[in-house]
A = this chain, B = another copy of it.
């Protein structure tokens, strides 16, 4: 007789279903705390920014470190510095948080535009002079959707769209090359850059000016990184004007500041025609027309190919933009070039109400 010794070993429960139900050794709150510390540079300030006490932060981070059995910060210094593991977790945490936020908005959308948030990005010029009108129209149609406008550089705006922090953006320059395959770029209007002078400037008396006059002026540019600068270099270069030889006065970082400077007689500047509507009407700025030269740039909407597109974003692109691609609304904006118009027609279904 043999005795069958059938010993049932005790297996931890989490080994039963290996695939999905393993415990996750951190919480969303902990990730948010980690991010806050990284952003603010110290436990104390992170605590303030999250409206909790400092020990709460310390304890949560200690728990997190214990759960992961990895130190996340270099203690000791006055300011907390992330270790390599900390940086890694932060990078993933940001992804996770973004995905969670996307989730929230997707669910809000399900309530059929009765709520939710639309975040629109823009560069300086479009953000200041064009988008307020667009957002106004959108808000009239969808009063329950709250709209945020975030004005940043073209580069930063593009990244924000790529990362899903912004639903869509309107920019006037080139999308960074590393993002060109990630983003959908829909050209929708042409913006013209105008040369503005003080009304009492000698050149303002003449009807049109010529290429050579440009070398005599004192320019007030936006900082050299700006899109307007790049467009100018490109277009003027094509007209055989050496932008390097143009005299540069002070560099300002706001279009309003530039307008004021020109108006005060401090020099000339190139700015979008959308930005000087009022000033031209009031006669406090003069727009000079240069013989044979017209400086255009294409304004484009960018959205993220792969990400979930909210109902609100969809509505913005399909219902609001078309109103602004004709010159009825923004008379200064040019009609689209033929090929761009075709692209727009193909890609944006016009659902007029």
Contacts and interface: CB of A to CB of B under 8 A. Distances in A.
A89 B139 CA distance: 24
Interface in A88-144: 88-89, 92-97, 99-104, 106-107, 110-111, 116-117, 119, 121, 124, 127, 132, 135, 139
Query: What's the interface size class on A, roughly?
Result: 35 or more
A289 interface: no
Interface in A6-55: 6-8, 11, 13, 16-22, 24-28, 32, 35-36, 39, 49-51
A84 B310 contact: yes
Contacts of A160: 16, 18
Contact of A19 (B18, B83, B139, B165): B165
Given A99-B96, A103-B89, A7 B152 contact: yes
Contacts of A73: 308
A296 B50 CA distance: 57
Interface string A218-245: 0000000000000000000000000000
Interface of A: 1-8, 11, 13, 16-22, 24-28, 32, 35-36, 39, 49-51, 68-71, 73-74, 76-77, 81, 83-85, 88-89, 92-97, 99-104, 106-107, 110-111, 116-117, 119, 121, 124, 127, 132, 135, 139, 146-152, 155-156, 159-160, 163-166, 253, 306-308, 310
In the A-B complex, the 8 residue pairs with the smallest Cβ-Cβ separation, listed nearest first, are A92-B103, A18-B165, A6-B151, A76-B306, A2-B149, A83-B308, A24-B100, A5-B150
